[in-house]
Amino acid sequence: MPDLHLEARDGLALITFDRPDSKVNLLASPVMLRLEELLGDIETRIARGEIRTLLIRSAKPGNFIAGADLDELARFEDARSVTAISRRGQEIFLRLERLRVPTVAAIDGTCVGGGLELVLACDYRVASRDRKTRLGLPETRLGLCPGLGGTVRLPRLVGLRPALDLILTGRQIGAIAAYDMGLVDRVLDAPTFDEEAVAIATAFARDAQPLETRRRSAVARLIKDGLPARWLTHRLMRRSVFEHTQGHYPALPEALDVTVRGLGMSVKQAHDAEAQAFGKLAATPESKNLISAFRLVGDAKKRRPTGTAATVNHAAVIGAGVMGAGIAELFAFQSIPVQVVDTNENLVRTGIDRARALLERVAKRVDWSDEDLQTRRDCLVAVTDFADLGQTDLIVEAVLERMDVKRAVLGQLEQHIPASTVLATNTTALSISELQEGLDRPARACGLHFFNPPHRMQLVEVVRGARTDDDTVATAFQLALRLGKTPIVVEDSPGFVVNRVLAAYLTEVGHLLQTGMGVLTIDQIMRRFGMPMGPLRLVDEIGFDVVAQISETMRRAYGERFVPAPIVAEVLNSGVTGRKGGGGFYIYEGGKAKRVNRDVAERLPRSAEVPAVEPADARERMVLRIINEATLTLDDGVVDDPETLDVAMIVGAGFPPFRGGLLRYADSLGLDRIVDRLQHYATLVDSRFDPAPGLVERKMFYDY
């Protein structure tokens, strides 16, 4: 069966995308050639008067078109070849746009990248009111710009600023937001979407009704997108792009330029500029690394662990604090009934209110109706007695980060729940194997490490204790996927993966503070490297108390290389708590860092006029500690392979994806060179830089 097929009846032609043996449709080259062939057939039949309207739809539940085939794109090395592919696709979409009959796109499910560019070439767009219907242009997240006319048609349809918002952020919006923007012309109810879409197209075919599209007037376009407005928008956004990316993502300024300048060109010139930009970007190392990172994360979700996963129909979260409420919201978002448990009824109510507030914020982004929101609010149930947990399939314990407290809670829980219930503890660094001691059913216990805040952070570490069985791991992994997260399976080890590697990084940051290097200097060094925030901003975000706990756990477990600099204890005991308390290394107002905290800065050593450590050396020391500890983590068998570790660092620690992954970046530097530099610092600074055996023994982490 072909990826798309054509049928015609009563003056209506229907093109249906349906890629065989796949859950999603992709615009691979054979699909584009087939589309071109069908358009030729349609043109002939239009000339004979047989077709009066074209409807384009998908047969895939929850998916319209998910964009280009990245595997195919990765095979092209040079810009010229990719530019030619872009031009060819543009020509096909121009042919669709120029059909002499109304064209209707019926969007039900994911419509992103080339899929959105295809529907932009249609006259009329209807979308389903379903949370799976998402529209966007994510190309810049892959180091690219739209290449099939998206930078040309979108700003002419919705205006320059809304178009740039979608193109530069790569974010996806729902059907209602798309309607409000003018991107779609009608929103239809999901249960009857197919029938209504066909009815609309059929009415056009039978009655030649005029299309009531949401087009802006020429006057509105001139006022909002005239030359002065374009110039100002371009200037302001270019500055903002650099501030946010430090120049590491060339796709963003390129996409900005081609979109803004394209509005002042003819359509033909604008398409040509877009194709040139697309080809140039596809050949950059940043794009290749971003695509590699994207595929790494996608593959991680497909690597299901051994064991049979049970379906979680009822869940509970023990602990109604900030973390517990955040985890409970994840269950409610997916319409999974969840009991929020605390012995203090006021705390439970506060936790549920916090979770419901998170749901209400989400509702504004995903086009929920009032009924949709209420259904999810009702999933959150307050409980103060463990005896009420008899129907739970999985429980997440999220109480105080102390071994004695967690063991006591888990032991009590076991007396009130079915033997099949999975007991998952949310811990940053405590031993799962030790928590299993004293449990009657240790095989049903595991770690489920969510990162803070749970509604934003995508990584979940599924931790296998010494006695955890395969079915428990499989159930926890499958649940994390269902909650919309990226799970990885890790063996029980202090700090697991992310916190262990981050602890090494932050330990080195402490030693740099000890030399007199300033807070802003350290943070700026790593921002320029590509980290989403500097390490001291990260400490504020995590919280001084949590950092202190993790630091002590790592020191006890791994010894000298995690011994903190003397200044660290003074800062951690200074009374500040981080962002949650309004101040840490920075002062926060309205949740945003405003300035360096003078009270903390005055406690820090001051550098001489000639700095003890040059910025380039400071950056190298921090990055080498990250690579070295990651290698030791891999050597210790905490994860099975470099791919899993790279996913953990990209998704959980914010390692810059334009570098392709931490260990892929190490390969690009050369392991011999890394070992040489580590030995240099081990001699010059301290033995904490002693190279990991795996760095000495390997030639590379990946087989290329």
What Rg value do the Cα atoms of the chain yield, rounded?
A: 28
Q: Any idea of the CA torsion for 47, 49, 53, 59, to the nearest 10 degrees? A: -90
Beta carbons within 10 angstroms of residue 349's beta carbon: 14
**Cα separation, 277 vs 338, whole angstroms:** 49
Beta carbons within 10 angstroms of residue 186's beta carbon: 17
**Cα separation, 473 vs 259, whole angstroms:** 47
> What would the two tokens of residue 433 be?
């194997």
> What would the two tokens of residue 314 be?
């009822």
Which residue type is seen at 262? G
Helices (H), 559-596: 566-572
Q: Any idea of the CA torsion for 252, 702, 485, 394, to the nearest 10 degrees? A: -170
**Cα separation, 462 vs 475, whole angstroms:** 10
- 44 forms beta bridges with none
Which residue type is seen at 228? P
Q: How far is CA 93 from the centre of its chain?
A: 30
What is the DSSP pairing of strand 380-383 with strand 186-189? unpaired
Q: How far is CA 148 from the centre of its chain?
A: 24
Residue in the block written with tokens 């349809």: 157
- 110 forms beta bridges with 63
Q: Provide φ and ψ at 649, rounded to 5°.
A: -75, -35
Q: Would you name the residues annotated as active-site residues?
A: 461
Beta carbons within 10 angstroms of residue 652's beta carbon: 23
